[in-house]
Structure 1
Amino acid sequence: MRRWRLVLGGGGADGTGHEPAGEDAAMDRALAALYGDGPGAGAGVASRGTERGAGLGGSAPHVARWLGDIRRYFPSSVVQVMQRDAIDRLGLSALLLEPEMLEAVEADVHLVGTLLSLNKAMPETTRETARAVVRKVVRDLEERLAGRTRTALTGALDRAAKVGRPRHRDIDWDRTIRANLRHYLPEHGTIVPERLIGHGRAEHAVKKDVVLCVDQSGSMAASVVYASVFGAVLASMRSLNTRLVVFDTAVVDLTEHLDDPVDVLFGTQLGGGTDINRALAYCQSLITRPAETVVVLVSDLYEGGIRDEMLKRVAAMKAAGVQFVALLVLSDEGAPAYDREHAAALAALGAPAFACTPDLFPEVMAAALEKRPLPIPEA
């Protein structure tokens, strides 16, 4: 009854007959402020009674106290959902421009996206606090993703650089023995290797070029955050030459900022239209070694530019030997909204478009670098 009462929100229609007290009453007030139907509250939900009408209003101190309350009573994952609902339902974005508000929120990828969309309106007094919030999220993402990405890509680059006819000092004996076990001669107690496998040496390894082309329209906010982190990780690998390009109707090359993903993020401008064709034209101009280049387009494919030209550019890159990967989203979100007609057209060109989680991205990049089939998740 206690749990149902907190869900339904009280009033004559909830039917529980339970009245919360103590900490439960405080939790109920926090929920009422966001989901109630009374004056100043959010739009509410049909099941909540009119008693839950405390509201958040437009008071920054009131909202700051509410943020502190929900962090006290609910786990971090729930706090992040409630913060997003408060921003969306109650229009609290403007309050995020105040330093004391930013210090009270639970930082996550979605909050970073909101801050980036407010970047141009942000006063100087708030900017440093906002950067600190963004830096914390970026640091957490790097700790989670960087090691796995470097391990996966280093392995892929090593395999791509393996030598088929190695000199004696370059033979990888472990792999050679494993590859020739069927040629074991028991009477002689030895293996006759028909195929020698060599280590990838520096002079044999060919540096790969990676171009990340990221749609910075408002719907791609989380993808921009993850792409910036991955871009910084890729740029830190000496065996890769990484470029980061972001676009809406204009194209901006942020490669020189890749040593600090926070600078990259504050160099983006979330919102606006989309011109994928123009962005791909710029990326195409960067390609000097097609056979050693991977282009990753992160976009929902809602093209505002010239559709046929966009597809021609992809076809030309594929024909030249470029590995082209189209990611409809790069985040932990569910099924993305995207232009299905454009996705099907890319698939027909041999460039399937699919949603990708951050945990899958290293494997996708490794497959692209090795020119093997991509690990496309099932729909």
Structure 2
Amino acid sequence: MTIETGRETARETGWDSGRDADQEVERLRRWRLVLGDAGADGTGCALRGADAARDGALEALYGQRPQPRSGRGVREGGGARAAGLGASAPQVARWLGDIRRYFPSAVVQMMQRDAIDRLGLSTLLVEPEMLEAVEADVHLVGTLLTLNKVMPETTKETARAVVRKVVGQLEERLATRARATLGGALDRAARIARPRHRAIDWDRTIRANLKHYLPEHRTVVPERLIGYGRAARSVRKEVVLCIDQSGSMAASVVFASVFGAVLASMRAIDTRLVVFDTAVVDLTDHLDDPVEVLFGTQLGGGTDINRALAYCQSRIHRPADTVVVLISDLYEGGIRDEMLRRVAAMKASGVEFVTLLALSDEGAPAYDREHAAALAALGAPAFACTPDHFPEVMAAALEKRPLPIPDMAEQR
């Protein structure tokens, strides 16, 4: 059915006005796009032009059953459709171009992730022409990092360019707010309560005493003086980011690496970044370049939180001025009781301990609830945190204030 015959059919079935007929045709068109080929007979609507192209792109991805991760094709029979992306890189590249043409960026990224998961296209991402065709986002970066060890040298430079593009976008989005929020927290921590006359910060002092303004005298009575913090020649705070690099934590690794670089750029914070699975790797020396940090990770493998925390604990010099941020889904493969004893010991020494189940825009992942409850009992509640909320969490930790913990029910 074309648009014209659809309008004629709609009128014949009781849709008298042209406007009502157009609305019915539009309704059938939308249902046809939703249902795909399976709904063609039910709607009686044939798609043309851009609609047909959109439908074809969707059919290639969602019109067949998922393939194995190995990338091999689905066996014949069993209801699998003949249409699809196949294993041809040129065909996939054309499909990637089509979806970028017909769908908005957020939808493109979702379809790319589905193609990688459903059709086993990970192996094609080691080809430079494929990387140049995809829409780069955090999830693609995670996939590339997973494939890092099997990439041919001809692809690695293209992959680095893709990762650098995403990291640059994240830094532009997050860095300014993070520096402002954390800089404010450090300034507040450095203020002098009883300053000498030359050290009085009159701007802050006046604002803090406005409630003591005397209108008849047109003056403010400064009952509380606020002084400038001393110029920090040495580091005042230490932050240790301890990041689980198991495969499920890919997005968190990307965001944490960006924030690690931001924190390292602030003179008043000594930042250490540690990633772990069953081994522990200290990537602090690469913090000036988050892309190098990311390519120093190895996503996948097991998890030994206890070993990672033991390493971090050994690198803490001033516990009362230290914040440790553990980013993990808490599926511990190491010694559970020893892990909990380490957290308790760090907190008893004065360390501010923050447990994040995820640092991403996707809410709380699957996580070990028993371990989360045990940490909460030690005064280190575990929660998921979005990148936009992370500066507020860190500011509270630096100032030793209660953490602004989101409602976990909203994150599920």
Q: Secondary structure at the match of 1:9?
A: helix
1:276 aligns with 2:305: yes
Q: Which residue of the partner structure matches residue 257 of structure 2?
A: 228
Q: TM-score, normalised by structure 2?
A: 0.87
CA contact (8 A) 1:32 1:53 kept: no
Q: 1:72 aligns with which of 71, 87, 101?
A: 101
Q: 2:322 aligns with which of 286, 293, 302?
A: 293
Distance 1:86 1:37 in 2: 11
Measure how far apart 1:10 and its partner are: 2.4
Distance 1:113 1:51 in 2: 29
Any residues of structure 2 matched to 1:257-336 within 5 Å, and which?
257-336=286-365
Distance 1:182 1:40 in 2: 68
Q: Which residue of the partner structure matches residue 3 of structure 1?
A: 30
Letter in 1 for 2:38: G
1:160 aligns with 2:168: no
Gapped runs of 5+ residues in structure 2? 1-27, 72-78
Letter in 2 for 1:31: L
Measure how far apart 1:157 and its partner are: 0.2
1:351 aligns with 2:380: yes
1:170 aligns with 2:170: no
Letter in 2 for 1:88: D
Distance 1:226 1:322 in 2: 23
Distance 2:215 2:135 in 1: 65
Identical-residue share of aligned pairs (%): 82
CA contact (8 A) 1:276 1:304 kept: yes
Q: Which residue of the partner structure matches residue 20 of structure 1?
A: 47
Any residues of structure 2 matched to 1:1-379 within 5 Å, and which?
1-11=28-38, 15-37=42-64, 53-202=82-231, 207-379=236-408
Return closer, same or farther for 1:305/1:19 CA change in 2, 3 Å cut-off. Answer: same
RMSD between superposed Cα atoms in Å: 1.9
Letter in 2 for 1:263: E
Q: Secondary structure at the match of 2:207?
A: helix
The structure whose Rg is larger is 2
Cα displacement string for residues 17-56 of structure 1 (whole angstroms, at most 9, x for unaligned residues): 11101111111111111011389899xxxxxxx8974211
Q: Secondary structure at the match of 1:20?
A: coil
Distance 1:40 1:247 in 2: 31
CA contact (8 A) 2:264 2:287 kept: yes
Measure how far apart 1:150 and its partner are: 0.3
Q: Secondary structure at the match of 1:10?
A: helix
Measure how far apart 1:11 and its partner are: 3.4
Return closer, same or farther for 1:254/1:53 CA change in 2, 3 Å cut-off. Answer: same
CA contact (8 A) 1:40 1:53 kept: no
Distance 1:86 1:267 in 2: 26
Gapped runs of 5+ residues in structure 1? 43-49
Distance 2:142 2:62 in 1: 23
Q: How many residues align?
A: 372
Distance 1:339 1:17 in 2: 50
Letter in 1 for 2:319: P
Return closer, same or farther for 1:280/1:39 CA change in 2, 3 Å cut-off. Answer: closer
Return closer, same or farther for 1:195/1:29 CA change in 2, 3 Å cut-off. Answer: same
CA contact (8 A) 1:246 1:268 kept: yes
CA contact (8 A) 1:248 1:271 kept: yes
CA contact (8 A) 2:238 2:321 kept: yes
